[in-house]
Amino acid sequence: MYQVLSLKYRPKNFNELIGQEAVSRSLSNALDSKRLANAYLFSGLRGSGKTSSARILAKSMLCKNGPTSHPCEVCDSCKMANENAHIDIIEMDAASRRKIDDIRELIERTKTYPSISRYKVFIIDEVHMLTKEAFNAFLKTLEEPLEHIKFILATTDPLKLPATILSRTQHFRFKPISQNLVINHLANILNKENITFEDEALKIIARSGEGSLRDSITLLDQSISFTNGSVNAKEVASMLGLVDPVKIDQILNIVLKRDREGVVSILDELSSYEADSIIDQLTLNLKDKFLSKDPKFNVFMYERFFRVLSEAKTMLNMGSDNGFTMAMTLFLMIESMSLKSIDDVISEISNKEQNNILKDPKNLEKDKKDSIPEIKTTKTPYDEYLANIYDRNYELGECFKRSVKFNDFKDNILFITSFGDEVDSEFLRKSSKVIMEILRKTFNKDSKIKISKLENEQSLQNKNSKTINQSYNTNKTAIENISKDLSIEKEDNLNKNYYKTQDLEDKDLQINDDGLSNSDLDDEFNKDLESLKKFNDLKKNLSIDSLEEKNKSLLDELKSSNNFKESKEARNLKELTRLFGDPKVEEN
């Protein structure tokens, strides 16, 4: 009788278990060391070997030579276990027997001893399907079973199990089986069955199995029947409703050539396939090319293509039309090749900005200036000395630079000329200790300073200005004293007549008196008026440059004119006093 490949090549011991080395090693060590737990939990993808491992573990426990990791396969217990007919191995499908009554029945069976073996083993598949009440009823028995009772639980969804169940079991996680292991195992089966095959066909089957060895073996069995004894890629793809791998490569070549007309024509050929399946095949094909480092593609192309395909899957999940989504996907893949990478865009922008900067006339002039080499001047010993003074005291450095001129330095003597004013000179004298200390640190401890005194232009100018100002002030005082003597005002309170003498700034002296005749004010008084006018003119034309000479001549002239006080002026004043009383003098 024909037996399906998944049952025919089901593993019978831990050595035959494919892709679960960690689980095999842990269970084998536990069996060999006789460290067996009361309950085990196997979780993982469908077809990853959970149920097969549970049966192998049960057989290893009940083997006549056991417990052992290598059952003999010849004893009655092993033979019955291989035929799934062992009376002490009880399998229960929790998907169909999930109620509390089913668990109560199982609990009643645990109370009896094994019939022919040392243990009674209960294998509960799809345990996550049990109801909450069934789990609660099962807890006590699972935690404290009788010594001869062992539980092996299997599930594809351990997250649905109560934490109380997880904490009472040893949990073994079965990982998805890698594609290479699946392909090798399928090839081994086909070789044993004497069936020819193509490697590409096995790749398609392994991909479709998605990490499940049982599913892959089932597809292999189906493909053998479909291909009539010769497994090839084209017929396997057709059997699975997939696009021929050659056609997938053709699609990618059209995209690489950016052939829009080719895309339109190939879309007609793809109309009979599911868009979701085509996108998955394109993704897997690109993944293989990426891992094999296909020279036609670069990293940026992979990144853009995967992004476009991911967006297409999202559109399909939202219910978009298959044909429209497929067309959009292929055209977007073509357009994505025209996009520039971020680094290229940044580089172009930087180059444009650099070109604009170079074209700017201001920058050209700046570049010309920058291209002119700088002439570096070497520092003299005096420059170093002055810099040290600045470092010690900036104010002292400024004063030293402003008031001292460097002449020479030889024989440890610094020759300088001092031309500062009194303030700077006094500041330098107070800072002499600091200056000498810096000098000896800069040169050597025997260094000295020789100073020659020279008044600077500013000092001379200030001195001359001071002298001139003193002379001017002296002469001005003398002039003001004379002016006061010449400012006369006479007023008559009785007849309301008056005479008024203005100060030296006025042009003339005015007298109004009806009681006096012109003959009484004779020509000598008029001469005095002329002298006053002449004095005013001299004062206006007076300048600092000729101050001493003009002042001297003015004083001489005024002294000569003052003779009127001893002659006619005395008589005139006496007569005026007799008529109007003593005169009052106003100062403007």
Contact 267, 326 (CB under 8 A): yes
521: left (phi over 0), alpha (psi -120 to 50) or beta: beta
Is the CA virtual torsion 389, 393, 398, 399 positive or negative?
Answer: negative
Distance between CA atoms of residues 26 and 11, nearest Å:
17
* Residues in Cβ contact with 234 at an 8 Å cutoff, skipping those fewer than 6 apart: 244, 246
Q: Can you give the pLDDT at residue 229?
A: 78
Q: How confident is the model at residue 490 (pLDDT cuts 50, 70, 90)?
A: very low
Distance CA 401, CA 82 (A): 110
Tell me which residue of 164, 100, 152 sits closest to 126, measured CA to CA: 152
So what's the pLDDT on residue 588?
Answer: 42
3-state secondary structure labels for all residues of 263-285: HHHHHHHHHHCCHHHHHHHHHHH
> What pLDDT shows up at residue 476?
54
What does the pLDDT average to over 126-146?
89
- pLDDT of res. 184: 93
In the chain, count H helices and then E strands. Answer: 26, 13
Q: What is the 3-state secondary structure (H, E, C) of 313-328?
A: HHHHHCCCCHHHHHHH
> Taking CA 377 as the corner, what is the angle to CA 376 and CA 382, rounded to the nearest 5 degrees?
150
pLDDT confidence of residue 548: 54
Provide φ and ψ at 541, rounded to 5°.
-85, 5
Asked if pLDDT for residue 468 goes beyond 60, the answer is no
The tokens for 171 are: 């949990």
Q: What is the pLDDT of residues 197-232, one digit of tens each?
A: 999 899 999 988 888 999 999 999 999 988 887 898
Counting residues of the chain whose pLDDT is more than 70, the rounded percentage is 72
Q: What is the rounded CA–CA span in Å between residue 154 and residue 11?
A: 17
Average pLDDT score over residue span 256-280: 88
Evaluate whether 439 touches 413 at the Cβ level (below 8 Å). no
Query: What's the pLDDT at 515?
Result: 38
Indicate the pairing of strand 448-453 with strand 413-418: parallel
Q: What span, in angstroms and rounded, lies between the C-alpha atoms of 56 and 82?
A: 9
pLDDT class of 294 with cuts at 50, 70, 90: confident
Show the tokens assigned to 344.
């290229």
**Which two structure tokens, joined as six digits, stand for 158?**
């351990």
Residue 472 φ/ψ, nearest 5 degrees: -65, -45
Helix, strand or coil for residue 547? helix
Task: Give 295-344 pLDDT, tens digit per residue.
Answer: 888 888 888 899 999 999 888 888 888 888 889 999 999 888 887 767 77
Residue 36: pLDDT over 60: yes
Give residue 507's pLDDT band: very low, low, confident or very high (50, 70, 90).
very low
Rounded-to-integer distance, Cα 406 and Cα 135, Å: 105
What confidence tier does 189 reach under pLDDT thresholds 50, 70, 90?
A: very high
pLDDT at position 550, please?
A: 53
Distance CA 382, CA 408 (A): 9
CB atoms near residue 237 (< 10 Å): 22
Mean per-residue pLDDT for 538-547?
Answer: 50
Q: Is the pLDDT of residue 267 over 50?
A: yes
Residue 85 CB neighbour total at 10 angstroms: 9
pLDDT at 374: 52
pLDDT at site 576: 64
CB 404 within 8 A of CB 416: yes
CA 478 to chain centroid, in Å, comes to 83
Q: Which residue has the higher pLDDT, 284 or 419?
A: 284
pLDDT at site 191: 92
Mean pLDDT confidence for 511-515: 37
- The token duo for 155 is 């599930």
Q: Give tens-digit pLDDT for 69-123.
A: 999 989 999 999 998 899 999 999 998 888 999 999 999 999 889 988 899 999 9
Q: What is the pLDDT of residue 469?
A: 53
pLDDT at 218: 92
Among candidate residues 71, 67, 90, 81, the one with its CA nearest the CA of residue 152: 90
The yes-or-no verdict on residue 581 having pLDDT over 70 is no
The dihedral of CA 206, 212, 218, 219: what is its sign?
negative
pLDDT of residue 149: 92
Q: Is the pLDDT of residue 454 over 80?
A: no
Digit-coded pLDDT (tens) for 355-386:
666 555 655 555 555 555 555 555 677 788 88
pLDDT for 158 equals 92
**Could you tell me if residue 497 is left (phi over 0), alpha (psi between -120 and 50 degrees) or otherwise beta?**
beta
Taking the C-alpha atoms of residue 311 and residue 309, their distance in angstroms, rounded to an integer, is: 5
Whether pLDDT at 27 is above 90: yes
What is each CA distance from 63 to 8, 59, 68, in whole angstroms?
A: 21, 6, 7
Taking the C-alpha atoms of residue 407 and residue 415, their distance in angstroms, rounded to an integer, is 5
- From the number of C-beta atoms within 10 Å of its C-beta (0-12, 13-18, 19+), residue 352 rates as exposed
